[in-house]
Structure 1
Amino acid sequence: MKKPSPYLTFAGTIPFIACAIFITMGIDAIRILGTTAHVLSVYGLVIASFMAGAHWGNHLALADDNTWAIKIPIFSNIIALGLWLGFLSLSTVGFIRLLVVGFIGLLIIDYNLQQAQIISHVYFKVRKYVTVIVVLALIISAVQL
Structure 2
Amino acid sequence: MITFKDIKDAVTLKLSTEFSNIKVYDEEIRQGFSPPAFFIELIPVNTIRTNFFTKNPTLIVDVQYFAKEENNDELYDMADSLERSFKFCIQVKDRVLTIVKIEYEIVDFVLHFQISLNYLVSIREEVETEENIKPMRKLHFKEGMGK
Per the normalisation by structure 1, the TM-score is 0.30
More strand by share: 2
More helix by share: 1
Per the normalisation by structure 2, the TM-score is 0.30
Q: Compare relative contact order (CA 8 Å, sep 6+) and give the higher one, 1 or 2.
A: 1
